[in-house]
Structure 1
Amino acid sequence: MHVGQRVALLRQLWQSRHALVAIPLVLIIVITLVDIHSPESVHLGPLLVVAPAITTAFAGYWLTGLLGALAVGAQIIIAVLHGGLTTTNHMSQIIGLAILSVFAVIVCFVRDRRTAELAQVRSVSEAAQRALLRPLPDRIGPLHIACSYLAAEKEACIGGDLYAVARTGHRTRVIIGDVRGKGLAAIGEAATLLGAFQEAAHHHPTLPALAEALDRSVCRYLTGFPEADGEAQEHFITALLLEIPDHSTVSQVVHCGHPPPLLIRHGHVTSVTSPHPAPPLGMWTLRPEAHATHTFSFQAGDLLLLYTDGVVEARDRSRAFYPLEERLPLWAKSSPKTLVQHIEKDLLVHADGALADDAAILAIHRSPVPHTGFHVSDLVHGADFHDSVPRAGPVSHSSALHAARAGG
């Protein structure tokens, strides 16, 4: 938001508050005039308490106190002109109105203080989110990227979902994951995995080796959790690792208990499922041999959607899950940013604005790669791996498989 827009917004807010102040002022004047011109047996002065009560809805404690003082002053005027200031009825009305006005000021003071504390907490939360989930570049290599994070907690900005991208030579590695549980413990596990990924992605030549290294990091972190009530707590992270080479249409994915990505090609949506999924990170000791990759074709013009289970498990009022795969064809021709925005808005409408779990969305669109000797981002983001991509799954075309073996 530009400075001019902020000034205009503040001016509009100030003007709107000034317009609202007219309401209690008019009420004070009208009630005072009507009470003065009414018979002495009719007492409308107690209605003046509505002025400070209404002011608490849109103003701070200073303005509320001012309107309360005006209401008490109006009550004194009524008492002087309408039966006498020293009458028991008028004295009790003045004292009662003054006490209620003080209560209204106290309520405003406590509310404003809590609002300030909440704003401070939100600013810290936003800073923590920026540190934990660093903004992804709009473009990296041949990929256009857009992402979104929706926290389940209304006043929170972060949770246990995570995503990150690492550029390693002429390929891009992506991770998206979901930590079991919520709260500070989930954020700590997410931070551990993200830190391990950003480092290990540049040191392991194959995707299975990267997955194994991340599993070891998660296991080392989880050993620090104490047992609850004599039983071991279940801590794990579902994750999906993706490797997209620049000059080959054959991409690789390792499923670690995470929902499969959805591939959009020519308006059609297909699920990129693995025949041999691995357990979630932190649980590989149950199946140490399950670390195979699955290869699939990711061509220029394709769009790949990664997401956490908070998206597909969002329910509407009838307890029906969000039909992500059915909705995607409606926005198949959208750019990654527009697609993410459509999903985010539609998801919140489906869930009536209240998500039961954090939801992360990551859209990746592949554009053609110019045939040049090198890419500028390669000089910035790291050196190339001098290795070949191992054959880890079935491929439909022999030429694509040959490109994968050649380290495309």
Structure 2
Amino acid sequence: MTDEKPPMSQTPLSWMPVVVMVVIAIVDVVVGPGVGLLPLVAVGPAFAGLVGGWRRTAVIGVLALLLCVGLGLYNGLFAERRGYGAMASVAGVTGVGIAAAVMRSRREAELASMRSIAEVAQRVLLRPVPLNAGAFQVAVSYTSVVAEARIGGDLYEVVASPHGVRVIVGDVQGKGLAAVETAAVVLGAFREAAYDERDLAGVGERVERSVARELEGERFVTAVLAEIDVGRDLTLLNYGHPPPVLVRCDGSVDFPEPPSYALPLGLTAHGTEGPDPFGVRFEPGEQLLLYTDGVTEARDEDGRFYPLGERTHLLNEPDTHRALDALREDLVRHVGGPPGDDAAMLLLRHHRHGDGNPPPSGG
């Protein structure tokens, strides 16, 4: 078992045990043996066990024992039991501190292993989308509400299939591992169907069947599926999900909504029909932003929702990824911190005559 070098943020804390013992020694010398400060030297190894590794704690303990011996001889405390009692106290606290440091190191190793597994799961489940898909530039942003997490209940994927560029953005009901498992089912079904099915409705039906087989009870997934190809309109399939944002060449903004909303994926047991695909004009120079409700339902300190339609001018940045980063940073500023829900955004920019410039802003 090895001690790791403490991070820079912990360096001041790592010196605290030594500082505490030096202060106690100075005060003890100044006030004399009558005050009885010698047992307080045990504070040093006790604190070391909280902030350092077991080896460092043992070293601090040895220094504390030597300090006890020195102060005890200086104050003549070994002529009575006070000096020996202080040394026993320091030795006992040092032993407890070493045990605490060992247990903490093991927990930190387990946490590091879990984080490593989470990173692998992220790469498998939410693998990087292509920077370019056909005539489109692509960028994604994902913020998990769970502290230290890199993955949650939101999902996205871009597939450049023989039938066009196909995209999905979805939001799984619930949180935790169950939501991650459901997201894996949806993405696995979509990736397979996006290559095989000739039309977007067929892709949606395949995903719906897979989700219906796996989900139990009232669990569901809202999602938007999109199909885009050069020379054809954008086709959308909406399963109870917030409508995407279309930023036009003149800077105007559309939220294309379906003729009628369908139930989310996984609720076919209610006997309702799935959504009907509908077409939307999507021309070179325009941008399509798909997102989850963690974006539009993000509130500021006054309870106001994030005004996504008013902030699309931030997407005028020439670089697609920087444009989406600017929007995400604005969302964080609006909330005053991380959003209260998972927030995913996927931006597709339609090249204008082969370049990657954004459309001109209208405001």
**TM-score, normalising length from structure 1?**
0.77
Give 1:366 shift: 1.0
Give 1:325 shift: 2.5
Give runs of aligned pairs for residues 185-224 of structure 1, distance below 5 A: 185-222=178-215
1:255 and 2:238 equivalent? yes
Structure 1 residues 22 and 235 mapped into 2: Cα distance closer, same or farther (>3 Å)? closer
Give 1:147 shift: 0.8
Determine if contact 2:223/2:239 at 8 Å carries over to the other structure: yes
Determine if contact 2:245/2:289 at 8 Å carries over to the other structure: yes
Partner of residue 78 from structure 2, selected from 60, 85, 93: 85
1:272 and 2:256 equivalent? yes
1:173 alignment partner AA: R
Give 1:109 shift: 2.1
Distance in 2 between the 1:128 and 1:151 partners?
14
- In the other structure, the counterpart of 2:358 is none
1:315 alignment partner AA: R
Distance in 1 between the 2:209 and 2:7 partners?
56
Distance in 2 between the 1:329 and 1:287 partners?
42
Partner of residue 64 from structure 2, selected from 71, 92, 110: 71
Structure 1 portions without partners, runs of 5+ = 1-9, 226-232, 371-408
- In the other structure, the counterpart of 1:384 is none
Structure 1 residues 54 and 335 mapped into 2: Cα distance closer, same or farther (>3 Å)? same
- In the other structure, the counterpart of 2:340 is 356
Report SS of the residue matched to 2:311: helix
Report SS of the residue matched to 1:305: strand
Report SS of the residue matched to 1:85: helix
Determine if contact 1:268/1:329 at 8 Å carries over to the other structure: no
Report SS of the residue matched to 2:84: helix
Give 1:119 shift: 0.8
Structure 1 residues 107 and 344 mapped into 2: Cα distance closer, same or farther (>3 Å)? farther
Report SS of the residue matched to 2:141: strand
Distance in 2 between the 1:237 and 1:148 partners?
19
Report SS of the residue matched to 1:260: coil
Give 1:268 shift: 3.2
Structure 1 residues 27 and 129 mapped into 2: Cα distance closer, same or farther (>3 Å)? same
Partner of residue 238 from structure 1, selected from 210, 222, 242: 222
2:137 alignment partner AA: H
Question: Quick check: 103-112 or 44-53, which moved more?
Answer: 44-53
Give 1:18 shift: 6.8
Partner of residue 169 from structure 2, selected from 165, 169, 176: 176
1:115 and 2:98 equivalent? no
How many pairs align? 350
Structure 1 residues 289 and 28 mapped into 2: Cα distance closer, same or farther (>3 Å)? closer
What is the RMSD computed on CA atoms of the aligned residues?
Answer: 2.7
Determine if contact 1:246/1:369 at 8 Å carries over to the other structure: no
Question: Quick check: 24-33 or 186-195, which moved more?
Answer: 24-33
1:144 and 2:127 equivalent? no
Report SS of the residue matched to 1:201: helix
Structure 1 residues 22 and 194 mapped into 2: Cα distance closer, same or farther (>3 Å)? closer
Structure 2 portions without partners, runs of 5+ = 355-363
Structure 1 residues 88 and 262 mapped into 2: Cα distance closer, same or farther (>3 Å)? same
Give 1:244 shift: 0.7
Distance in 1 between the 2:151 and 2:32 partners?
63
Structure 1 residues 122 and 38 mapped into 2: Cα distance closer, same or farther (>3 Å)? same
- In the other structure, the counterpart of 2:307 is 323
Report SS of the residue matched to 2:78: coil
Structure 1 residues 108 and 165 mapped into 2: Cα distance closer, same or farther (>3 Å)? same
1:179-217 per-position Cα deviation (integer Å, ceiling 9, x unaligned): 112233222221111111111112222212221222122
- In the other structure, the counterpart of 1:346 is 330
Among the aligned pairs, what percent are the same residue? Answer: 38
Structure 1 residues 319 and 17 mapped into 2: Cα distance closer, same or farther (>3 Å)? closer
Determine if contact 2:168/2:223 at 8 Å carries over to the other structure: yes
Determine if contact 1:177/1:237 at 8 Å carries over to the other structure: yes
- In the other structure, the counterpart of 2:360 is none
Distance in 1 between the 2:94 and 2:329 partners?
43
1:208-252 per-position Cα deviation (integer Å, ceiling 9, x unaligned): 222122212211223xx3xxxxxxx2021111010111233x211
Give 1:120 shift: 0.4
Give 1:17 shift: 6.7
Give 1:301 shift: 1.8
**TM-score, normalising length from structure 2?**
0.86
Distance in 1 between the 2:14 and 2:199 partners?
67
Distance in 1 between the 2:89 and 2:186 partners?
61
Determine if contact 2:155/2:171 at 8 Å carries over to the other structure: yes
Give 1:26 shift: 4.5
Structure 1 residues 160 and 29 mapped into 2: Cα distance closer, same or farther (>3 Å)? closer
Distance in 2 between the 1:346 and 1:283 partners?
35
- In the other structure, the counterpart of 2:357 is none
2:165 alignment partner AA: T
